[in-house]
Amino acid sequence: MVWLPLYGLFYAAVTLYWARIAARENGNFETFFSAGHSLAPWISALVLAGASLSGWAVLDGAAEIGEGGFGVPALLQAGIALALPGVFFFKRLWLLGQRLRLSSQGELLRSYYGSEFLVAFSALVGVIFAVAFAGMQLAALSRLVEGLTGGQVSAPVAATLLAVVLFGYVVIGGMRAVGYLGAVQAVLAAAVLAGFAGFALIGLGSFGALNAGLSALAADPGQAGKFMVAGVIQFTAGVGREAAAGHEGTAVASLTIAFALMGFQASPLAAKVILSTRSPSGVAAGQTWVMAGAFGGLIALCMASLGAAAMINPALGVAGLLTNLSPWFAAWLFIGLLAGVQLMAGLALLTAGEAVVRHLYKPWFHGSLSRRGTVTLTRIVIGILALISVLMQALTPVTLSVLGALALPLAFQLWTPLLGMTWMRWITRPAAVTGVGFGIAGVLLTEPFGHAVLSFLGLDLPWGRAPWTIHSAAWGMAANIAVTLLVSVFTQRRGYGEEAQEARRSLHGTLRTSPRARALKSTAWAVVLAWLFLAVGPGLIFGNAAFVGPEGKWLLGMPSLWGWSLLFWALGLGVVWFLSYKMEMASPLAIDIPAYEPRPRLRRDQTAAERERLRALVVTLAVGFALIVLTALSFGG
């Protein structure tokens, strides 16, 4: 097969071309981390939509529908679910970043809350995205390469090649390369998603044939459950402990999976893109028309079609299509898929590398590190992270997927500190920190990773993954919110740091909503809650039979839940538009934001303290490792 290497070489050449352009613009290292805050708003909109949805939609979303059917309709609302947090946060985060001249989530958290724990947690989330979440998708691509080449290129070799290309353009061009190339990658990935769906439909004959096939499946009592939500909630002990009746896809499972998806927009990856953008003027259009409209529509229609085709004929899944199509189309589709995955992976690697070096290593252990040295060290860390990811893909795929599953629910726990910064000013520093801590515990205790760690230490939990069919993101958030509320109540008298006070003043002074928007506030709450209830929440139960005739015939010619999801995708687009523009939550802002000048402070020599911290870190790591080994030897199985 000559086409795949040919297209692959062309893709690699294009990435290096853009990396070179970006490096020249960067002046090698001056604006490596945030592209000089100069990315065009339309580029950021495409990068955000592409990074959050494209690779996931083809590799995971379609596969889940292919295996489980339409039982989790939240998957089809991913475009809206991801646009909503963008509408809530992005404009305000950009304003804070611009006022305080910050370029990453870690810096924002340190500046506002003064909490090293939150900074470290944000860095950890970035690393999990870079190594495990992206690694899972790259591993899936490597297996596809192995299949496409008939085993001539093994999966580990393919993983190495893909990682080299990724590493190359990220370390050369930094955030600017991720942005420039990301815009191309996002559109290509979106086109390829439509292409996959188109080829799947051609394989079946037509859209009518697809629905006829689905109808035949639904007539089989053994398969009928795939076209229904399995109740509002099931009080089971969780996957691995107690199976749910029918399947795990209850309405509450859908709602909480939508919450998990929303985690991406609270992750340091999304913040990186927003804070590298030159103006917030594209947030409304980006979230409404790109994320919710274009990508949301592709997911509700094309991803669903691709998954549904695989339900009827597994050979029409992604792997089957790539194997059976003409080589030039297979190569084009694969490159598009690769582009979507590398967009997210590149952004994650850069964010994680920056977080580890700029937000952890430099302030704690090496304050005198120069800017050039920081960029060089970040490049090395990016290489190490990419290498770890490749090694884990080849050697420990189970650990990789267990870790990767933590990325979204953990990122979702960052909602509370972000809400504190942007909307809910009563969330105090101790409340945000404690809330996130409990949120992490909630996630870990309901995810296989936590179970595996506790089991290793000799503790067996009486529940499995997602007990009561509730995703770990929601278990974590329940603990997070409860603790945040409680602690906030008791710590209201605690003051805020100088920069946090300035941030609060700045947001309050800049974002004065118009009387019309204030008058629509209760309407906005009502439509958002109604949409959440009906589109991804308990109201999904109505979708089971909403478009089913008296004799069980599908009134729309397609599964009732699919029709319901398409209807609520269109209504969700309206909700996002309403919030963005009419409620002015993401509307364009045409004012100049001057930089905040903090009071001059005397800097003390930190060398001795940094050396002491490094020593303490080494000792803590050694003692911790010894304790874990001892505990495992004593109680572990």
Partner 1 sequence: MSTSGPIIERSILIFTIWAVLGFFGLGCFLEGLARDSWSISALGVFGIVLAFVAHIVINGVFATDFTRGETVLGIGSYGLLGLVFIAGAVGGGMTMTDYYSGLTLFGVLAAGFLAYLFTRHGLRGAFSRFHVKTASAQEGS
User: Of 346, 361, 300, which Cα lies nearest the Cα of 569?
Assistant: 300
Smallest gap from residue 170 Cβ to partner 1 (A): 17
Q: Of the two residues 57 and 311, which places its CB atom closer to partner 1 in the complex?
A: 57
In this structure, which amino acid lies at residue 591?
A: I
In the complex, least distance from residue 509 CB atom to partner 1, rounded to whole angstroms: 30
- The smaller minimum CB distance to partner 1, of residues 147 and 327, is found at 327
SS3 breakdown of the chain: % helix, strand, coil, rounded to 5?
75, 0, 25
Tell me which residue of 503, 475, 501, 482 sits closest to 431, measured CA to CA.
Answer: 482
From the CB of 21, what's the least distance to partner 1, in Å? 6
Task: Yes or no: say if 264 and 86 are a contact pair by the CB < 8 Å rule.
Answer: no
* Closest approach of partner 1 to the CB of residue 182, in Å: 9
Strand, coil or helix: 444: helix
DSSP state at residue 604: P
Residues in the chain: 637
DSSP 59: I
Instruction: Closer to partner 1 by CB, 295 or 475: give it.
Output: 295
Residue 180 vs 562, nearer CB to partner 1: 180
Closest distance of CB 142 from partner 1, Å: 22
* Residues near partner 1 (CB under 8 A): 7, 14, 21, 24-25, 38, 40, 42-43, 180, 183-184, 187-188, 191, 195, 326, 328-329, 332
Of 335 and 500, which has the nearer Cβ to partner 1?
A: 335
Cα 443 from Cα 409, distance rounded (Å): 7
**Residue 311 vs 335, nearer CB to partner 1:** 335
Q: How far apart are CB 104 and partner 1 at their closest, in Å?
A: 23
CB atoms within 10 A of CB 525: 10
Cα–Cα distance, 366 to 373 (Å, whole number): 11
What is the DSSP secondary-structure string of 305-340?
Answer: HHHHHHHH-GGGSHHHHHHHS-HHHHHHHHHHHHHH
- Cβ 9 to partner 1 shortest distance, Å: 14
User: Which 8-state DSSP code applies to residue 40?
Assistant: -
Nearer to partner 1, 119 or 190 (CB): 190
Question: Following DSSP, what letter does each residue of 206-271 receive, concatenated?
Answer: SHHHHHHHHHHHHHSTTTGGGGS---S-----BBTTBPPSS-S--HHHHHHHHHHHHHHHHSHHHH
Nearer to partner 1, 18 or 547 (CB): 18
Encoding tokens for residue 53? 């949805």
Nearer to partner 1, 328 or 490 (CB): 328
- For the CB of residue 189, give the shortest distance to partner 1 in the complex, in Å: 10
Least distance in Å: CB of 191 to partner 1?
4
